[in-house]
Structures are given as structure tokens and as C-alpha cells.
Structure 1
Amino acid sequence: MNAPAQWMVLFRHGHSEWNLSDRFTGWTDIPLTEVGLAEAAAAGRRLAQAGFAFDEVHGSVLQRTRQTVGALLAAMGTPEVPLFTTWRLNERHYGALQGMDKHEIFAAWGEEASRRWWRGYVEPPPPLNHNDPRHPRFDPLYAALDPQDLPASESLRDCQRRTLPYWNEVLVPRLRAGRRLLVVSHGNTLRGLVMHLDGLSAGDTERMEIPYAVPLVYRFAPDLRVVGREWLAVPGVAPAA
């Protein structure tokens, strides 16, 4: 297939160490596994085969996205494509749930509330204490940011509200200028962006899944109306639902 003239590719990073152990990662800076690196490389080969090339990559500041970008671009044969990182594309902050697995969370807060926190659109999980060492104000990655901007917990709506300024102020102008963009981010961050692009309801977004390492291609009209979207199947990677 030939790549469309005006488009953007969204991509969730490959599997990380905590994804495979079913722990809530959020802003915790966990690396990819060898499986995740292989997934990213397979997607890069598939994108190149399909005729895609990128002018820029935009991703979060977390190493699992940066590792994904490195493996994907190397497999495409274009490691020189510039990467721009921002905390606004970070995963949703899971608050006190970060670092815990589902069994531990159910034991601490009960299954009903726990599922409402991690799948719901509006209600955030319990926040981190301001002095909790997991709080992002202690992380050197965010030393240049106003501490008031750093979340101690986020709902999916909170995550979306923090991501959309980057879409409107950075990505949209680049798309209007004809730049070919790859956005490498996280499951919840991309759910919020897809909700915005597709005009989905909160209920539809709560049920949405963004698979690991499967490119989602958006096609745009000149005014940036969405005129098409498709998942690009990658051999050896679980397909999108």
C-alpha cells in the first residue's frame, strides 16, 4: 500500500517489565522487555514496507517510549529522524496504584472501586501523598516544571486535558505544515487523543483498548478533518480488536 499524503501514525510502546507482571506503571520509568523491543522493530519494518516515512517523532519523556522509538526507527532504516519528548504525552498518572498489581489493589480498595478508577473516564485513583517518594516532584525528569503542574493522580479525563494542549499547539501546526508525524505514547494518553479525534463518548472511550505496538494510521483532509483511520497489522504482534 502507498502511504496517504496527509496523515499521522499513533503508536503505543511495546511491552515493559511491569506490563508483563501486571503492575500499574503510570509515570514510573520502567524499561521495555526484549519482547517490547522486538515488537517495536517488527512495527518499524511493517511501516517501511507499507511506504511510510516520518519527518518527526513525538513521545513522552519515559524511557519505554524512547526505547520504542529507537528500535522502530532503526528497523525502518531511518534512525536520524528527530524525536521530541514532552511530559504531556506521558502515561496517565495512577496515583497510589502505581507499582501495585491488581490483586494488591483489590485487597486494599475492593474490586468495584478499583475497576472504576482504572477504566473510568472521570474518577481518579487515590492520590500520592505530597511527600511520597513516588511523587513526580522528586523526579529529576520534571525539575524544570512548575510543581503545580505535576499530578499526584489522574483520571482519564485529567490525562486528556493535559495532553490536548500539545495536540493543539504543537502537533496540529506541524500537520498543517505537511509534516509526517509518528506519535509514540501510552495506552491512556492515546485513548484520550483518539476520543478527541473520533468524537467518542466517555462510555465508548472507557471500553476502548489501544493494543501494544500496532500502528494506528489517521488520514486527514486539508482542514485536518479525520477522513479515515486504520490499524496496520504487524506480523507476530497481537492485532487490534
Structure 2
Amino acid sequence: MHKLVLIRHGESEWNKANLFTGWTDVDLTDKGIQEAQHAGSLLQEEQFVFDIAYTSYLKRAIKTLDYVLEEMDLLWIPVYKTWQLNERHYGSLQGLSKKTTAELYGEEQVKLWRRSYDVLPPALTKDDERYPKHDLKYRNMDEKLIPLSESLKETIVRVKDYWDREIAPQIMSGKNVIIAAHGNSLRSLIMFLDNLSPKEIIDLNLPTGIPLVYNLDDQLYPIEKYYLGSEKHIERKIKQVAEPDNIME
């Protein structure tokens, strides 16, 4: 049996401000730091040990992972960062509040962009200051791979590619893996691990800062999965993420 742990980053500054975040590189709030530290404590209490870790290029996920590993005294393990685990790219919605977006486009359209499987938000243009190529992190990235906007469908393609090439072989070799990433990159991973349909994935809400544990067989099919922590706390966090007026992306 193979162990895999997924953790969505703690609350970010733009989560708190209720802004569409996407690839914008915002930091954790104090609450987000506490969520990450609590996750590390839970994993330490349950005597989890990891051999290798993966995260995105975005500091809210990187710092979440660092706080988790610090609580576990595992800061020394190899950590691999990749843009392919970044949050879904919200195009020109990035930086807008839900209220502003609804005023511009209407509530129904906003709901469609947020919760549909394959409807793209409005795209950025390459001269927009938010275009990733203007960011040092993506300076060597093939421009053809840089998104101007993504639905969950596009996010799944890049996450699955990285899983198949990099993460799955490490798990198959016997390594215990932790992945700290984002709501939509982790939903993408869960979609193909659990073989969920586009309709089923729409209703999946992933709480922030709660470790999700997978026990996988030798073909990396899930045997079981469960969240760490008290049931009441987990239910409250899932409801918080599911609130229609609450942007956690």
C-alpha cells in the first residue's frame, strides 16, 4: 500500500479579500499560517513521514508546505516546485472581487465560470501586466504552454501530465509523497485518482489546510481516503469553501 497526502494551502490574502486569485502570487494570512501549522501537527501526531514533496510556483502553497514540514521536522526532504501544480488560471478575472465580477457579467455567468468543467473565463492579453511571461518565475517557460485563461478541463491536462511523468513513478518506487497545492489543481488530481465525471467534480469542495490522505494500491488506485482532524472541524471548513459568495480560488 502506498501513502499520498494532499493539502490545499491555507487562507491567502486574496481569499480573505474575496478576490479571484489564480496565478497571482499572494501570501498567506495569519490564519492561513495557523491552518498550515495545524495540518503539520495533525500529520506529526499520526506519525506520518514523507520522503519527497511537491508544490506549485506560488508562495501560498510553498509556504503552506514549509510550515507543514517544519512542524514535522522534515524540512530536509526534497521539495519539487512546478507551474503544473499552480492554481487554475482565471484570466482577466484575476484581482476582481465576486461583487465586481457579478456587476460586470451577471451572477449566473460568474457561477458558470467558477463551477463549470469546461467554460473558460475571459482571457488575458499578452500585453496585460498580469500575463505570466512578465513574471520572473516563468521567464524560461515555453510561451505556448502559458495559459491566458483556464477552465478545470485545461487544468487537469497539465496536472495529469506532471503526475504521470514525475509524481506517480516516485510513489510506485515506494516513496511517501505529500503535495501542497491549490483548490483546482488538487481537484484535478482527485478527479482522475477517483475517476470522477465532469458532473461529479463540480460538486467537490476541498477545505483549506486539512490533510487528505490516500491509501493507494500497486496500480495507484485508491483503497481508501480520509481527512485528518475532527469531523465537525472538517465539515465546517468544507461548508465555508462551498459558500456561493466565498471565493477561495
The answer, yes or no, to whether TM exceeds 0.5 is yes
Number of aligned residue pairs: give it: 237
Distance 1:20 1:84, change over 3 A: same
Name the counterpart of 2:245: none
The answer as to 2:234 corresponding to 1:230 is no
Contact 2:191 / 2:197 at 8 angstroms: preserved in 1?
A: yes
What letter is aligned with 1:92?
R
Bigger drift between 187-196 and 222-231 goes to 222-231
Bigger drift between 231-240 and 125-134 goes to 231-240
* Inter-partner Cα distance in structure 2 for 1:69 and 1:52: 14
Name the counterpart of 1:56: 52
User: What is the SS of the residue equivalent to 2:80?
Assistant: strand
Contact 2:227 / 2:234 at 8 angstroms: preserved in 1?
A: no
Name the counterpart of 2:246: none
User: What is the SS of the residue equivalent to 2:184?
Assistant: helix
Q: How does 1:61-140 map to 2 (within 5 A)?
A: 61-140=57-136
In structure 1, runs of 5+ residues without a counterpart are none
The answer as to 2:37 corresponding to 1:41 is yes
Contact 2:8 / 2:186 at 8 angstroms: preserved in 1?
A: yes
The answer as to 2:23 corresponding to 1:8 is no
Name the counterpart of 1:27: 23
Q: Give the deviation of 1:210 after TM superposition.
A: 0.6
Contact 1:46 / 1:234 at 8 angstroms: preserved in 2?
A: no
Name the counterpart of 1:163: 159
What letter is aligned with 2:41?
R
TM-score (norm 1): 0.95
* Inter-partner Cα distance in structure 2 for 1:10 and 1:63: 17
* Inter-partner Cα distance in structure 2 for 1:210 and 1:200: 14
The one-character-per-residue Cα deviations of 1:158-189 (angstroms, maximum 9, x if unpaired) are 11111110111111100110011000000011
Name the counterpart of 1:208: 204
Which residue, 200, 214, 217 being the options, matches 1:218? Answer: 214
Alignment RMSD = 1.4
Distance 1:35 1:236, change over 3 A: farther
In structure 2, runs of 5+ residues without a counterpart are 239-249
* Inter-partner Cα distance in structure 1 for 2:181 and 2:12: 13
Q: Give the deviation of 1:238 after TM superposition.
A: 4.5
User: What is the SS of the residue equivalent to 1:88?
Assistant: helix
Contact 2:5 / 2:214 at 8 angstroms: preserved in 1?
A: yes
The one-character-per-residue Cα deviations of 1:100-148 (angstroms, maximum 9, x if unpaired) are 1100000111111111011110011000112111011111100111111
The one-character-per-residue Cα deviations of 1:177-235 (angstroms, maximum 9, x if unpaired) are 00110000000111111011111111111111010001111111122221111111169
What letter is aligned with 1:54?
F
Q: Give the deviation of 1:237 after TM superposition.
A: 5.5
The answer as to 2:175 corresponding to 1:182 is no
What letter is aligned with 2:227?
W
